[in-house]
A and B are shown apart, each in its own frame.
Chain A
Amino acid sequence: MDSFTTHTGVGVPLKRSNVDTDQIIPAVYLKRVTRTGFEDGLFAAWRNDPDFVLNDPTYAAGSVLVAGPDFGTGSSREHAVWALQNYGFKVVISSRFADIFRGNSGKAGLLAAQVDEKVVQRLWDWLEDHPGGEITVDLESRTVRAGAGDDAVEDSFDIDDYTRWRLLEGLDDIGITLGHDDDIAAFEAARPGWKPVTA
Chain B
Amino acid sequence: MVVPPPESVKEIVVGKTLSEKVWDEHVVRSAAGEPDLLYIDLHLLHEVTSPQAFDGLRLADRAVRRPDLTLATEDHNVPTLDWDKPIADPVSRTQVETLRKNCADFGVRLHPLGDIEQGIVHVVGPQLGLTQPGMTIVCGDSHTSTHGAFGAIAFGIGTSEVEHVLATQTLTQARPKTMAVTVNGSLPEGVTAKDLVLTLIAHTGTGGGQGYIVEYRGQAIEELSMEGRMTVCNMSIEWGAKAGMIAPDQTTFDYIEGKPEAPKGADWDAAVAHWRTLRTDDDAVFDEEIVLDASTMTPFVTWGTNPGQGAPLGASVPSPDDFDEPNDKVATEKALHYMGLEAGTPLREVKVDTVFVGSCTNGRIEDLRLAASILEGRHVADDTRLLVVPGSVRVRLQAEAEGLDKVFVAAGAEWRGAGCSMCLGMNPDQLAPGERSASTSNRNFEGRQGKGGRTHLVSVPVAAATAVRGTLSSPADLQEV
Q: Which residues does A use to contact B, with CB under 8 Å? A: 16-18, 20, 22-23, 26-28, 30-35, 44-45, 68-70, 73-79, 81, 96, 98-100, 103-104, 107-108, 160-162, 173-174, 176-178, 180, 183-184, 187-188, 191-199
Contacts and interface: CB of A to CB of B under 8 A. Distances in A.
B426 to A, nearest CB: 4
B52 A33 contact: yes
B142 A75 contact: yes
Contact of B168 (A74, A184, A197): A184
Interface in B26-76: 28-29, 33-35, 37, 39, 41-42, 48-49, 51-52, 55-56, 60, 62, 65, 67-71, 76
A26 B447 contact: yes
B206 A70 contact: yes
Contact of B451 (A26, A31, A100, A103): A26
A109 to B, nearest CB: 10
Contact of B157 (A76, A96, A191): A76
Contact of A196 (B39, B67, B169, B261): B261
Contacts of B237: 74, 100
| Complex A-B, nearest 3 residue pairs according to Cβ-Cβ distance, in ascending order | A107-B160, A104-B158, A78-B158
Given A27-B424, A196-B132, A100 B156 contact: yes
Interface in B139-181: 140-142, 144, 156-161, 163-164, 167-170, 172, 174
A117 B169 CA distance: 38
Contacts of A28: 425-426
A99 B161 CA distance: 13
A33 B51 contact: yes
Contacts of B451: 26, 44-45
A137 to B, nearest CB: 21
Given A23-B445, A174-B168, A192-B270, A162 B174 contact: yes
Contacts of A193: 267
Given A31-B77, A33-B52, A103-B161, A194 B263 contact: yes
Given A74-B445, A199-B67, A98 B210 contact: yes
A162 B33 contact: yes
A199 B52 contact: no
B92 A31 contact: yes
> Which of A31, A96, A161 is packed against the most chain B CB atoms within 10 Å?
A31
A96 B210 contact: yes
Interface of B: 28-29, 33-35, 37, 39, 41-42, 48-49, 51-52, 55-56, 60, 62, 65, 67-71, 76-77, 89, 91-92, 94-95, 98, 107, 109, 129-130, 132, 135, 140-142, 144, 156-161, 163-164, 167-170, 172, 174, 206-207, 210-211, 237, 240, 242, 261-263, 267-268, 270-271, 274, 305-306, 327, 330-331, 334, 424-426, 443, 445-448, 451-452
Given A33-B51, A76-B141, A199-B68, A180 B28 contact: yes
26 contacts: A16-B334, A20-B306, A23-B446, A27-B424, A31-B48, A31-B94, A31-B426, A33-B95, A34-B52, A45-B452, A73-B206, A73-B240, A74-B443, A78-B140, A78-B158, A103-B161, A104-B159, A160-B174, A173-B164, A174-B163, A174-B168, A187-B28, A194-B267, A196-B263, A198-B69, A199-B109
A77 B168 contact: no
Nearest to B309: A18
A184 B71 CA distance: 20
A44 B305 CA distance: 17
Contact of B159 (A45, A69, A70, A78): A78
Nearest to B334: A16
A85 to B, nearest CB: 12
B77 A78 contact: no
Nearest to B38: A187
B71 to A, nearest CB: 4
Contacts of A161: 33
Contacts of A77: 48-49, 158
Given A16-B334, A196-B262, 18 more contacts: A17-B327, A18-B331, A20-B306, A28-B425, A32-B95, A33-B94, A45-B451, A78-B158, A78-B159, A79-B159, A100-B157, A103-B157, A161-B33, A162-B35, A183-B29, A184-B28, A195-B132, A198-B68
A123 B397 CA distance: 56
> Which of A161, A183, A188, A197 is packed against the most chain B CB atoms within 10 Å?
A197
B368 to A, nearest CB: 24
A72 to B, nearest CB: 10
Contacts of A34: 51-52, 55
A30 B426 contact: yes
Nearest to A28: B426
Contacts of B267: 193-194
